Amino acid sequence: MSNTGKAFANGKAFIPFITCGDPDLATTAAAVRAAAANGADLIELGIPFSDPTAEGPVIQGANLRALTNGVKTKHIFAFVREIRKEIDIPLVFMTYANVVFSYGAEAFLSACRETGVDGLILPDLPYEEKGEFLPLCHQYGVDLISLIAPTSEHRIAMIAREAEGFLYIVSSLGVTGMRNEITTDLAAIVRAVRQNTDIPCAIGFGISTPEQARKMADIADGAIVGSAIIKLLEKHGKNAPAYIGEFVKNMKDALR
């Protein structure tokens, strides 16, 4: 089992997303500690990008705040190197292809291994383009996480067969952000995945309440929450980590 897969060894997984540097890296560190201490099974760390085309307004705002405050990729690697001394759960980067490409894919992935980043999620790198980074991901032992969308249909088998770490199931059409209702037939998608792979499935996009998380966990192996956590950062700024800890605890309790 790859390191990211370990997130699913402890019952249904709860996966929070935090944008690095929103509002600063000290707050991100405190938020990561609070999430880990309250039952997060894996943490998705966002490296901010100027033009995050898969994000709704909430996470766009986090990206903008972090960049305005001057956070750079090299600062984020330094931050991960430090936080890794205290945190054992898998850490996965979520960013855009140009951030990796611009840093130099090999330099980026070797820094992932050196600092202890276990996986990489790039929403603008579909199956057809994964050759861009996959050989280097393998070389440095970083899982390149694949996404499956409500529109994937006959592509599910192809994506699932080659997936590694876990599969990120996108719950709904559109961009990230909280939704009152998720109407996609996710059970059918997970069934199609299961026919092709044994790796775990986590559902993300639009999940913000314990009830929604429980529903998703009934269908899949875990739930990913981004915008609801970023909202806490937007509202409480440097004081957000305590609220994030409480939120993570409620979500994880709902999955137990």
| 3-class DSSP assignment, residue 33 | helix
48 CB-near residues (< 8 Å, 6+ apart): 19, 20, 21, 22, 62, 63, 64, 66, 67, 71, 95
Q: Compute CA distances 35 → 28, 44, 230, 240, 250, whole Å.
A: 10, 11, 13, 11, 11
| Contact status: 195 vs other proteins (CB under 8 A) | no
178 binds other proteins (CB under 8 A): no
Name residues contacting other proteins, limited to 209-228 (CB under 8 A).
none
Do residues 58 and 227 make contact, with C-beta atoms less than 8 angstroms apart?
yes
Please choose, out of 12-20, 147-155, 225-233, 234-242, the segment that lies near other proteins by the rule CB under 8 A: 147-155
Judged by CB under 8 A, which of 106, 114, 153, 246 binds other proteins? 153
The residue among 102 and 239 lying less far from other proteins, judged by its C-beta, is 102
State the binding string over 119-138 for other proteins (x if CB under 8 A, else -).
Answer: ----xxxxxxx-xx------
Question: Shortest Cβ distance from residue 16 to other proteins (Å)?
Answer: 21
Applying CB under 8 A, among 29, 32, 36, 54 the residue interacting with other proteins is 54
Residue count of the chain: 256
Residue nearer to other proteins on the CB measure, 155 or 214: 155
Task: Say whether residue 183 binds other proteins (CB under 8 A).
Answer: no
Q: Which of 102, 183, 195, 239 touches other proteins (CB under 8 A)?
A: 102
Helix boundaries (H) for the chain: 25-37, 57-68, 73-83, 97-103, 105-115, 134-139, 155-161, 186-194, 210-219, 227-236, 240-255
| Residue number with CB closer to other proteins (51 or 181) | 51
Q: Does 86 bind other proteins (CB under 8 A)?
A: no
Cα distance between residue 31 and residue 163, in whole Å: 29
CB of 113 to other proteins, least distance (A): 20
Is 51 buried (19+), middle (13-18) or exposed (0-12) by CB count in 10 A?
exposed
CB contact at 8 A, 39 and 14: yes
To the nearest whole angstrom, how small is the minimum distance from the Cβ of residue 233 to other proteins? Answer: 18
Q: Does 77 bind other proteins (CB under 8 A)?
A: no
Bridge pairing between strands 91-94 and 222-225:
unpaired
Binding site residues, other proteins, CB under 8 A: 49-51, 53-54, 56-57, 60, 67, 72-73, 96-99, 101-103, 123-129, 131-132, 146-153, 155, 159, 170, 173-175
